[in-house]
């Protein structure tokens, strides 16, 4: 049931921003949550996620801070910035328009 990766293009950003809007999360956790919530329709890998997180941070859309978890592992937690919130809203809106357009074409 894995979805063609071409369709994924550009979706990592809005999805990450949306998840971080609820609570702070660390990278490895985001991967697990996304794959789980989509029933593995999405199969995110580190090579996809980490570069994206770094881009978002460089753009000032998210902030990061290191924490030591109960299991002793260091985790880099990400939080949404004000700028990131605005971007998230815009991206979700953009998805709505996009999906609407595609549905019009595919189910006319």
Partner DNA sequence: AATTATACATCGGCTGTCGATGTCTGTCAA
Partner DNA sequence: TTGACAGACATCGACAGCCGATGTATAATT
Are 33 and 55 a contacting pair, CB within 8 Å?
A: no
Please state at what angle helix 12-22 crosses helix 46-58, rounded to 10 degrees: 70
CA 63 to CA 28: how far, in whole Å? 16
Binding flag, residue 106, its own copies (CB under 8 A): yes
Structure tokens at 85: 């919130």
Applying CB under 8 A, the span of 53-61, 63-71, 79-87, 88-96 interacting with its own copies comes to 88-96
CB of 17 to DNA, least distance (A): 12
Binding flag, residue 105, its own copies (CB under 8 A): yes
Are 88 and 79 a contacting pair, CB within 8 Å?
A: no
Partner from DNA, its own copies, none binding residue 23, C-beta < 5-8 Å depending on class: none
Binding flag, residue 43, DNA (CB under 7 A): yes
CB of 107 to DNA, least distance (A): 19
């Amino acid at each position: 049931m894995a979805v063609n990766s071409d369709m994924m293009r550009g979706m990592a950003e809005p999805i990450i921003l949306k998840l971080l809007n609820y609570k702070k999360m660390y990278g490895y956790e985001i991967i697990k949550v996304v794959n789980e919530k989509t029933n593995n329709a999405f199969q995110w890998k580190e090579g996809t996620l980490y570069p994206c997180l770094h881009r978002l941070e460089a753009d000032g859309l998210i902030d990061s801070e290191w924490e030591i978890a109960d299991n002793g592992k260091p985790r880099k937690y990400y939080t949404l910035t004000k700028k990131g919130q605005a971007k998230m809203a815009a991206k979700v809106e953009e998805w709505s328009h996009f999906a609407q357009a595609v549905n019009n074409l595919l189910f006319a």
